[in-house]
């Protein structure tokens, strides 16, 4: 059963159609409350200025990529492109570290050292999916998140947590509620913004922007899904950093 669930989840972003008036502009609006956070990104705010350099490290899994296609089409690559558009005069670089089939507990002890070596201004830690698939104990998951976030912030970076994908096709097979709740708790404890990918994708599904029940493959459609995630994430990061892109344009 778990193998079936993993196969379905891993292929979700590759097989999800999106409705769009224009093929280049997906319809994937997100309610404002899902794109704001009371937690802030002070290091990001400090480097986002004319002539500044913003380095973002995404710690991801299989849902961070689109099969073997061009990495620039996946959401980390699209995030880099969108932020460069929105933050003129700022050299924005987004890199991806892939850790497929790794639980939070397996990754947490390595994250502090990774930040010390890579020296990002921001880490986006995408986690929870594999833990849910493995039915990792909720307390162990929370403790691992706590350890990992604390280590990364101590190493000198801002941290954003990104939670699970939403898939109505897998809800009857496994429950992710304990992992979603624990990610929210740890984010609040460490004053780290939480990008609620689960709620955002559920909103798209309920609004009819994406048919997440469909199993029809399509690379171009997958690219649009990743583009929507990147655009939502860029708005979320800019808000959490208290950055006004209009001021950057004036100062150029």
For the residues 91-120, what does the mean pLDDT come to?
A: 96
- Greater confidence (2 vs 141) lies with 141
Nearest residue to 226 (alpha-carbon basis) of 99, 60, 104: 60
> What are the strands, taking DSSP E only, across 90-135?
91-98, 122-126
Q: What's the pTM value of the predicted model, to 2 decimals?
A: 0.88
Return the pLDDT at 9.
47
| Cβ neighbours for 221, distance < 8 A, ≥ 6 positions apart | 15, 16, 17, 18
- Residue count of the chain: 252
For the residues 5-20, what does the mean pLDDT come to?
A: 40
113 vs 22: CA distance, rounded Å? 44
For the residues 96-116, what does the mean pLDDT come to?
A: 96
For the residues 11-16, what does the mean pLDDT come to?
A: 41
State the number of CA atoms in the 13 A half-sphere of 198 facing the CB.
21
- Greater confidence (3 vs 160) lies with 160
The percent of residues above 90 in pLDDT, for the chain, comes to 63
Strands across the sheet containing 122-126: 91-98, 53-60, 122-126, 158-162, 194-195
244 vs 139: CA distance, rounded Å? 39
Using 50, 70 and 90 to split pLDDT, how confident is the model at 209? confident
Q: Work out the mean pLDDT of the chain and round it to a whole number.
A: 86
**Alpha-carbon distance values, 89 to 65, 80, 110, 164 (Å):** 28, 13, 33, 33
Return the pLDDT at 196.
97
For the residues 27-54, what does the mean pLDDT come to?
A: 95
119 vs 47: CA distance, rounded Å? 13
For the residues 53-68, what does the mean pLDDT come to?
A: 87
3-state helix, strand, coil in the chain (%, to 5): 50, 15, 35
- Greater confidence (83 vs 11) lies with 83
114 vs 93: CA distance, rounded Å? 17
Return the pLDDT at 70.
67
Return the pLDDT at 115.
98
| 2-251 is a CATH 3.40.50.1110 domain | yes
At residue 110, does pLDDT exceed 90? yes
At residue 163, does pLDDT exceed 60? yes
Return the pLDDT at 212.
62
Return the pLDDT at 86.
96
Using 50, 70 and 90 to split pLDDT, how confident is the model at 168? confident
Domain boundaries, the chain: 2-251
Q: Which helix (H) or strand (E) holds 85?
A: helix 75-86
Return the pLDDT at 4.
41
Using 50, 70 and 90 to split pLDDT, how confident is the model at 17? very low
Nearest residue to 6 (alpha-carbon basis) of 129, 125, 163, 175: 129
95 vs 104: CA distance, rounded Å? 20
Return the pLDDT at 26.
52
Which tokens hold the place of 136? 């990792």
At residue 20, does pLDDT exceed 70? no
Nearest residue to 195 (alpha-carbon basis) of 75, 101, 19, 112: 75
DSSP 3-state of 55: strand
């Amino acid at each position: 059963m778990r193998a079936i669930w993993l196969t379905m989840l891993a292929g979700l972003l590759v097989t999800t159609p999106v409705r769009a008036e224009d093929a280049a502009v997906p319809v994937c609006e997100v309610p404002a409350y899902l794109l704001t956070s009371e937690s802030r990104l002070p290091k990001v705010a400090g480097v986002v200025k004319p002539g500044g350099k913003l380095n973002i490290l995404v710690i991801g899994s299989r849902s961070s990529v689109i099969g073997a296609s061009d990495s620039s089409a996946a959401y980390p690559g699209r995030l880099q492109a969108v932020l460069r558009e929105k933050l003129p005069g700022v050299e924005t670089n987004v890199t991806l570290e892939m850790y497929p089939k790794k639980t939070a507990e397996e990754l947490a002890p390595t994250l502090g050292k990774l930040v010390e070596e890579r020296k990002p201004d921001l880490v986006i830690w995408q986690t929870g999916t594999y833990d849910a698939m493995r039915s990792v104990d909720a307390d162990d998951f929370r403790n691992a998140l706590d350890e990992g976030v604390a280590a990364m912030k101590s190493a000198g970076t801002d941290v954003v947590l990104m939670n699970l994908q939403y898939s109505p096709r897998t809800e009857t097979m496994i429950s992710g509620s304990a992992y979603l709740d624990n990610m929210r708790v740890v984010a609040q404890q460490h004053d780290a913004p939480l990008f609620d990918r689960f709620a955002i994708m559920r909103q798209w599904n309920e609004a009819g922007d994406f048919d997440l029940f469909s199993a029809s493959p399509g690379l171009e459609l997958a690219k649009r899904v990743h583009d929507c995630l990147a655009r939502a994430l860029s708005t979320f990061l800019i808000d959490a950093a208290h950055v006004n892109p209009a001021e950057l344009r004036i100062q150029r």
